[in-house]
A and B are shown apart, each in its own frame.
Chain A
């Protein structure tokens, strides 16, 4: 197929359809309305079903049902709507169901605004709802990568029987870039048949019961252990990150993801003439966090600069991963204000010149 010029939201929708997803349930919220609009246009063409739910609460429970009967399904929303979905996310994680959830993040807390932020990082990486669970969270930095990661997200969800988030800021959802879809994509892993799905009990398998109620504490603890074993496997096998910049010793290592990593890359190109040795580690999975790749890069660096569109959420994972081995500095905006390449390059120069104050964990 010839390259198309697509908004991130449109590319996400098309990628889902090409991944075999025939069901979408969602509720309008800016800045991701182009996803449900795209799905309402495309799903009838492929024999699928689109439902505009009465709320995000309902939409998230509709995907719970669709996943329970073994169908590929996804929903999308933006920050306040994702908060409303957390009840179902906890149930879906506990019941071991595969779903894909796209969060096109906007500013908060509260109703906030409609412009891009990365301030749902903690929600996406620490569980989000009640109980001990994690969701695999993928953070694209371009429209093409958003499409590619949506395809991967369906495979990962099916393989691990877990919710998988695609975490994009508003810029990823709204900006247009050229994108193409591979015609011969193979699944990331061999995917076993969904023998656990509630497709009607004909006696040829055990009765399928999708459930997260375990009143017996021992059984509930065993279910937790089962989930944790799966998370351990994800930590061992699914961590993704990319490194850019100098391969030797570094004056400054920047840690950034999503569009902030794009801004940082522009900043690094702009400041090549300064002679500063700069590198950037870009987490692609924000959970599981690429702690080993970060620790390895941090070994080579004099200092670390965390850049993100929040008040410092990924910052905590950087502290935990580097265990205070290097001083950590922070650059952020909130509320929908973006980072400019000049701001990032100025911050890099300040860190390298000792003009920036180290930030320490404040609890």
Chain B
């Protein structure tokens, strides 16, 4: 708060779309940053009062306590199906899912692919930190080759577990128009770019253009066993080379889907 009699004005505060409470996220986890970006975009686009968010099963399950909008907690992986039910019933609402890598890319793969393929006018915020956090460190579908987890004690062996799934590339291969991009939040420049991606995603929804999915590379210092600053560097050194950042598909723009015959 500015001191009495001072003409300074607030230039930074809590977004209206975030509740004023302390989150449960571990030190150095970037879920909080991503929550904030989503909330800022909802505020700036004037969508907060029409927003309904889907909370996943995973570390972000308590997102329903943090976003200051109506929320639905979904069973594991099914958020895109639940979002479909809401959007088809109430096309006027701004419907978004917030999902982790186990939720979206493992148990919920069918739901996300088919929601994208139907072109549901929803926005999917996909947080990829290459590990299961809520259940304490098991392999995720996005765990990197040789990455040690509690279920890959000798490191992920692609011969046994396959290679990590690149979700943004996979979804952008569908013919149905969509806005699909990957961002990151480990350095300020990427945070700014990721916020722009989220803004474009929600705008595509409010203009009823298409389905949108923003994959965001995130950290898990606790289960990676790294101090927060090292975890941010781990994203740059290990994740970004495998998960390239940028836009993969946008109506009227880039499109990686196979061309029609």
Contacts and interface: CB of A to CB of B under 8 A. Distances in A.
A–B interface present (Cβ within 8 A): yes
A54 B54 CA distance: 19
Interface in A59-105: 59, 61-71, 73, 87-88, 91, 95
A201 B86 contact: no
Given A53-B81, A61-B81, A61-B82, A68 B93 contact: no
Interface stretch (B69-77, B165-173, B174-182, B223-231): B69-77
A57 B83 CA distance: 14
SS class, residues of chain B in contact with chain A: helix
Contact of B85 (A68, A91, A200, A212): A68
Nearest to B52: A198
B90 A201 contact: no
Contacts of B62: 213
A75 to B, nearest CB: 10
Nearest to B78: A61
Interface in A28-56: 49, 51, 53-55
Given A57-B78, A201-B49, A64 B85 contact: yes
A208 interface: yes
B23 to A, nearest CB: 15
Contacts of B73: 95, 209-213
Given A87-B75, A88-B75, A62 B52 contact: no
Given A58-B78, A61-B111, A201-B49, A51 B84 contact: yes
B239 to A, nearest CB: 29
A337 B52 CA distance: 48
Contact of B88 (A49, A88, A207, A211): A49
Contacts of A59: 81
Contacts of A213: 61-62, 73
A289 interface: no
Interface residues of A, number: 40
A67 B88 CA distance: 11
Interface string B89-119: 1100110000000000000001101100010
Interface string B113-142: 110001000000000000000000000000
Contacts of A284: none
Given A200-B49, A209-B64, A25 B71 contact: no
B82 A68 contact: yes
Nearest to B110: A54
A58 B93 contact: no
Contact of B69 (A53, A87, A200): A200
B68 A88 contact: no
B153 to A, nearest CB: 29
A57 B80 CA distance: 12
Contacts of A71: 89-90
A212 B62 CA distance: 11
Contacts of B50: 200
Contacts of A200: 49-52, 69-70, 93-94
A95 to B, nearest CB: 8
Contact of B82 (A64, A201, A211): A64
Contacts of B89: 22-23, 49, 65-66, 69-71, 73
B85 A210 contact: no
Interface of B: 48-52, 54-55, 61-62, 64-65, 68-75, 78, 81-90, 93-94, 110-111, 113-114, 118
Interface of A: 22-23, 25, 49, 51, 53-55, 57-59, 61-71, 73, 87-88, 91, 95, 198-203, 207-213
